[in-house]
Chain A
Amino acid sequence: MSHDIVLTRLIVGDPFTVDFGAPVGQQFNSSKIGEAICWTDGHWSSAEPIIISRTVEPSLREQDADHEERASTGGDGAAPGDVCSSAQSTPLGRKPPRAWRKPGLIAAGLVVLSAAAIGVTWVVWGNQTTKGADSAKSAPAAPASAAASAAELPIPQAGPGVRVVDHPYETAPAAPSVADAALPIAPRETVAAASAAVQTPAPRAQAVREPSRPKIPQAESTQQRPPAVVLDEGKGASASSSATKPPAVALPQGAASGAAAVSREPAKAAPVPGAVARPTAGPRAGGLVAVTPDGKTAVFTNPTTRMPEQFKIGDKLPNGEVIRAIEPKDGRVITSAKEYSLE
């Protein structure tokens, strides 16, 4: 093949075309494509082409208008350096053959599925373990929760004026707390204080007792009760009372002197020292303590104040009874309701 090419010294010339020939197994549309063999399913076979057609890119390409004109006129309209052919040139493809794609995809799919299965297994197992741990944790927490719930039961709110104490009974007097400071505390009535106010001679301590309250049926009491008489204090009262007064009873010397001293005092005066012989066992509410020898007055214990008080005939006792008669001889006092006696 001769090429009548005019090349100057500067190697500037018109583009020219050179024939390569027929490509070997690289032409996509070649009729001899069937001669191409490929490895499929473990054996060589003449199958579909394994090379994808692709134009050859020249190593040097100059984007020039003149160059494009020359290229358009010089050959088949292809750019310089391009391998021209009626069919697309097919350089060696670098893509994997189609025959290899299917098994590859299948294998990749299997790997993905297995990984997903393993992942799901891990997740399920992890959840189970966590659930078990949670259940294990929740089981012992149940009684604790019950206790907590019990501890958290609402405490009934005490109303105003109500003091809530921890102990049902106060065994020992405790110092009043701040909360209790606002609440009124009932005064404690000490027996010693009451008894100390009354001086009782030793020999008389046992002689005087509070008489037992006789059982008086109501019918008899109503019948025996004399009509209520309002007696005035003073001479008139004493004169009227003296008419019904029983004869005086001679009391022991100490009691007489004490009774005389007491008679000078007002009827409902303070406790009478020496005239009252009280038992050391303890005061008795509303009980007869002593009777004066002259029979004018009788000493009763005021249940409220627990202090002995003197009453004359016609006086009203703290319990509401009115003294009708005083018998110093027998040591009895007759009231509108009942009869008291010294034992």
Chain B
Amino acid sequence: MSEPKRESILIDPRAMNVVNRIAAGGRQSGTYRCAGGLLVQGSIKGEIEITGGPLILMPEGQLAGTIKCDGEAYLFGTIAAQDNGAPSDLDVQGVVFMAETLVAKANVTAGGIKTFQGAQVDGRINTVRREESLGLKAEAGASAELVAPASVLEAA
């Protein structure tokens, strides 16, 4: 039996309007409202809202808390439970791609789900027909609005 063919994705931050990044090794906690896509290579914990772009959770990245995204989500990393032990909540307007390296303890609500062999999800997965936005407004060209003081994260 031949192995199934693998799939990959071409991430072009400029084309996909990914203007927000949590670099590897960085840790953030709090409330994040990102205008534009978010690329997570570090760790973010808290309430995160992403408008105008996708959520890209790199394999070394980690999320926890309540995450809302009006685009798509490409999950390669880890979604941990909240501090109280409850699963995190991920609400994505578009399609959620659960890569093989995903390890999530979260309830996922998305417009569509695409799973890949090896993805581990501990929680409910809900797919709904999105006709209304989440109420998030995306301003074109606007920088990420961080409650916490802005920090420059550079790859180590």
A binds B: yes
A-side residues, CB < 8 A to B, are 1, 3, 5-7, 9-13, 15-24, 26-27, 29-32, 56, 58-62, 64, 67, 70-71, 74-76, 78-87, 89, 91-92
Main secondary structure of the interface of A (DSSP, over half): loop
Taking A11-B21, A80-B11 as contacts, is the C-beta distance between A22 and B6 under 8 angstroms? yes
Which residues from chain A contact B13 at a C-beta distance below 8 Å? 7, 11-13, 15
A281 to B4, CA, bound (A): 148
Contact with A along B95-128 (1 / 0, CB 8 A): 1010111000000000011111111000000010
Flag whether B2 is at the interface (Cβ < 8 A): yes
Q: Nearest B residue to A77 by beta-carbon distance?
A: B10
Contact with A along B57-70 (1 / 0, CB 8 A): 01100000000000
Query: B99 touches which one: A20, A58, A92 (CB < 8 A)?
Result: A20
A310 to chain B, nearest CB (A): 136
Flag whether B94 is at the interface (Cβ < 8 A): yes
Q: Are A75 and B100 in contact (CB under 8 A)?
A: no
Q: Are A24 and B117 in contact (CB under 8 A)?
A: yes
10 A-B pairs with the lowest CB-CB distances in the bound complex, closest first = A21-B100, A80-B12, A15-B12, A21-B116, A85-B7, A75-B10, A80-B15, A22-B4, A59-B71, A19-B8
Query: B5 touches which one: A3, A11, A22, A67 (CB < 8 A)?
Result: A22
Query: A79 touches which one: B4, B10, B58, B99 (CB < 8 A)?
Result: B10
A334 to B6, CA, bound (A): 162
Q: Are B14 and A21 in contact (CB under 8 A)?
A: no
Q: Are A18 and B54 in contact (CB under 8 A)?
A: no
Flag whether B9 is at the interface (Cβ < 8 A): yes
Taking A11-B21, A70-B12 as contacts, is the C-beta distance between A23 and B7 under 8 angstroms? yes
Which residues from chain B contact A74 at a C-beta distance below 8 Å? 10, 12
Which residues from chain B contact A80 at a C-beta distance below 8 Å? 10-12, 15-16
Flag whether B148 is at the interface (Cβ < 8 A): no
Q: Are A81 and B15 in contact (CB under 8 A)?
A: yes
Q: Nearest A residue to B74 by beta-carbon distance?
A: A18
A75 to chain B, nearest CB (A): 4
Q: Nearest B residue to A90 by beta-carbon distance?
A: B114
A80 to B58, CA, bound (A): 16
Taking A31-B2, A59-B72, A60-B71 as contacts, is the C-beta distance between A18 and B7 under 8 angstroms? no
Which residues from chain B contact A56 at a C-beta distance below 8 Å? 95, 114
Query: A18 touches which one: B21, B53, B76, B115 (CB < 8 A)?
Result: B76
Q: Nearest A residue to B15 by beta-carbon distance?
A: A80
A10 to B21, CA, bound (A): 9
Q: Are B10 and A71 in contact (CB under 8 A)?
A: yes
